[in-house]
Amino acid sequence: MNGADDGKASAGFCAELVRTHDFIRYASTLFVPAAQRRALLAIYAFNVEISRVRELVSQPLPGEVRLQWWTDMLAGAGHGGVEGNPVAAELKLAIHNWPLPVERLSRLIDEHQFDLYNDPMPTMAALEGYINDTSSALFSLGAGIMGGPSDEIDHLARHAGLAQGLAQVMAALPLDASRRQLFVPLQLLDSHGSGMDEVFAGRQTPKLRRALDQLIGEAREHLRTAFALLASVPPEARPVFLPLALVARELERMSRADSDPFMPHVTSRFRTLWTLWRASRSRPFRT
């Protein structure tokens, strides 16, 4: 197999990985040109690899080893096997072809070390820092590929990532509670007279509900700001932010009085595609 075939296979591997494990971001790439789409899928596949480490190991140490491998790869440390890893190969190509700040990719790895342990998220500031270096970073990196890096893109990406990240904390609550992992900040729970025991028990008490409603409210504020800022970025960068249309729908569902935060909710892929297609034709995202 020659180099071109190897590259095609690696690109296909990344696309399938993202399609399987992060369908929303995969679907959003269907609205961008092929050259940029390949680079976006490389970043998103890298994110899948990093964010899934917790699921693939039973103890923190093997997870630390996996994350260190990626850190070394980004630093150019020689440890072999990079060429045989299709995600690493595609990510290196994207870094070479586009102005991707390696430091942001490295910080994403560092933040996901938190996932390996069952320490509770202590404060809103800590959660926002985690989200800024994960969800917001992905928006910033992706939009940078489409429209070139800029302060306007970073500003929008921060609010977009916080809206999406806070919504994901809510969406992941059933799974996280089942494995006694807490991303809802202890500070927020304490301020409403709730605590981690209620979360881990899967009981929606009035106090816990008020804490979660505050989290949803914070996400909606960031979402409003993100939509207001969309006009400030180049039109070609806006498709990267299409997942915000799904965040808006999910936050509306979560805000309903009859919504049970401990009941898993699955959206069909058809509905996801339909929502993104409709959003792509709306004024905020129109290119």
Average pLDDT, stretch 214-236? 96
Average pLDDT, stretch 200-226? 96
Q: Which residue has the tokens 């816990």?
A: 208
Q: What is the dihedral of CA 268, 248, 146, 286, to 10 degrees?
A: 100
Identify which has the larger pLDDT, 29 or 2.
29
Q: What is the pLDDT of residues 36-91, one digit of tens each?
A: 999 999 999 999 999 999 999 989 999 999 999 999 999 986 555 566 899 999 99
Q: Where do the structural domains in the chain lie, given as residue ranges?
A: 1-100, 118-287
The rounded distance, in Å, linking the Cα atoms of 99 and 88 is 17
Q: What is the dihedral of CA 160, 161, 162, 163, to 10 degrees?
A: 50
Q: What is the reported pLDDT for 89?
A: 95
How many other CB atoms are found less than 10 A from the CB of residue 143?
Answer: 27
How many other CB atoms are found less than 10 A from the CB of residue 103?
Answer: 9
Please say whether the dihedral angle defined by the alpha carbons of residues 272, 278, 284 and 287, taken in this order, is positive or negative. Answer: positive
Mean pLDDT score of the chain, rounded to an integer?
93
Q: What is the reported pLDDT for 79?
A: 52
Q: What is the reported pLDDT for 46?
A: 98
Q: What is the pLDDT of residues 125-141, one digit of tens each?
A: 999 999 999 999 999 99
The rounded distance, in Å, linking the Cα atoms of 31 and 62 is 37
The crossing angle, in degrees rounded to 10, of helices 86-97 and 102-111 is 140
pLDDT over threshold 90, residue 147: no
Phi and psi angles of residue 258, each rounded to the nearest 5 degrees, phi first = -90, 5
Q: What is the reported pLDDT for 59?
A: 93
Which CATH superfamily groups domain 118-287?
A: Farnesyl Diphosphate Synthase (1.10.600.10)
- Give the pLDDT band (50/70/90) at residue 1: very low
Which pTM was predicted?
0.94
- Give the pLDDT band (50/70/90) at residue 194: very high
Q: What is the pLDDT of residues 158-192, one digit of tens each?
A: 999 999 999 999 999 999 999 999 999 999 999 99
The rounded distance, in Å, linking the Cα atoms of 183 and 181 is 7
